[in-house]
Amino acid sequence: MIRTAGLTKRVPTSEGELTILNDVSLRIEAGESVAIVGASGSGKSTLLGLMAGLDTATSGEIWLDGRQLSTMDEEQRALLRAEAVGFVFQTFQLLPSLTALENAMLPIELKGESGAGGKARKLLDRVGLGDRWHHYPNQLSGGEQQRVAIARAFATKARVLFADEPTGNLDTATGGKVIDVLFELNREFDTTLVLVTHEERLARKCGRSIRLVAGEIANGESRPEPVHA
């Protein structure tokens, strides 16, 4: 489902070029759940952004859902995201002017599918917010907001779900409940899950972990990949 080969990301700084990711090669199969772990600043979120097509690499190649991202422009990557990718972020990223229901409806509407309201209501029911659908983000707790984000992520039946520190802004108990919902839906929709976290406990819930240290894979995952799709 996802493959990277020799992925490198460098950014210019006032003190010269800074390497954030260095020669990262990995492979994630369809239906797998993979945790990307590592200390702060190890390059976890950058790797997630690159694999999801939110950013472009300095060098190396990425394949997502059978397509090579590095040859696509932002428009093509956006269309691929619309079709195949879902996101859950640490800071929830809900639109503050939309209600819970409207937030969950948004990707369905953007995709041009009909029955957005019904589908979104079902998902909100599924994440336990059936009675809170008309509330705005600022009227919901952190855990509730993250559950709306999860409902939104599954609204278009994404084939790959990228989760960036989904419990990072939540207390342990709330975080636990949110993760349970996330994994339940993941199983139900048979989604490939890529989860960035620094929590070992959360990482253990995934099928396997990829550890990043200073922008490089530290646990032997960084093996050469074939360059054909």
Q: Which two tokens stand for residue 12?
A: 């210019």
Residue in 23, 32, 55, 216 binding another protein, rule: CB under 8 A: 55
How many whole angstroms separate alpha carbon 13 and alpha carbon 52? 24
Pick between residue 80 and residue 206 the one whose CB is nearest to another protein. Answer: 80
Pick between residue 18 and residue 110 the one whose CB is nearest to another protein. Answer: 110
Q: Which stretch binds another protein (CB under 8 A): 27-35, 108-116, 123-131, 215-223?
A: 108-116
Using CB atoms within 10 Å of the CB of residue 209, give its burial: 0 to 12 exposed, 13 to 18 middle, 19+ buried: middle
Binding mask 27-46 for another protein (x = CB under 8 A): ------------------x-
Residue in 7, 38, 100, 102 binding another protein, rule: CB under 8 A: 102
Distance of closest approach, residue 223 Cβ to another protein, in angstroms: 27
Pick between residue 45 and residue 186 the one whose CB is nearest to another protein. Answer: 45
Question: What is the DSSP code string of 20-84?
Answer: EEEEEEEEE-TT-EEEEEE-TTSSHHHHHHHHTTSS--SEEEEEETTEEGGGS-HHHHHHHHHHH
Pick between residue 81 and residue 211 the one whose CB is nearest to another protein. Answer: 81
Residue in 49, 128, 168, 176 binding another protein, rule: CB under 8 A: 49
Restricted to residues 60-99, the positions that interact with another protein (CB under 8 A) are 74-75, 78-83, 85, 87, 89, 91, 93-98
Pick between residue 83 and residue 171 the one whose CB is nearest to another protein. Answer: 83
- Give the neighbor-by-neighbor strand order of the sheet with 16-28: 16-28, 2-13, 59-64, 67-68
Residue in 110, 130, 188, 219 binding another protein, rule: CB under 8 A: 110
- Give the neighbor-by-neighbor strand order of the sheet with 33-38: 85-88, 160-164, 192-197, 33-38, 208-213, 216-217
Contact call for residue 111 and another protein (CB under 8 A)? yes
Is the alpha carbon torsion for 67, 72, 76, 78 positive or negative?
Answer: positive
Residue in 66, 68, 113, 187 binding another protein, rule: CB under 8 A: 113
Is the alpha carbon torsion for 67, 73, 76, 78 positive or negative?
Answer: positive
Question: What is the DSSP code string of 140-174?
Answer: S-HHHHHHHHHHHHHTTT-SEEEEESTTTTS-HHH
Restricted to residues 122-151, the positions that interact with another protein (CB under 8 A) are 138
Residues near another protein, by CB under 8 A: 45, 48-49, 52-55, 74-75, 78-83, 85, 87, 89, 91, 93-98, 102, 106-107, 109-113, 138, 152, 156, 164
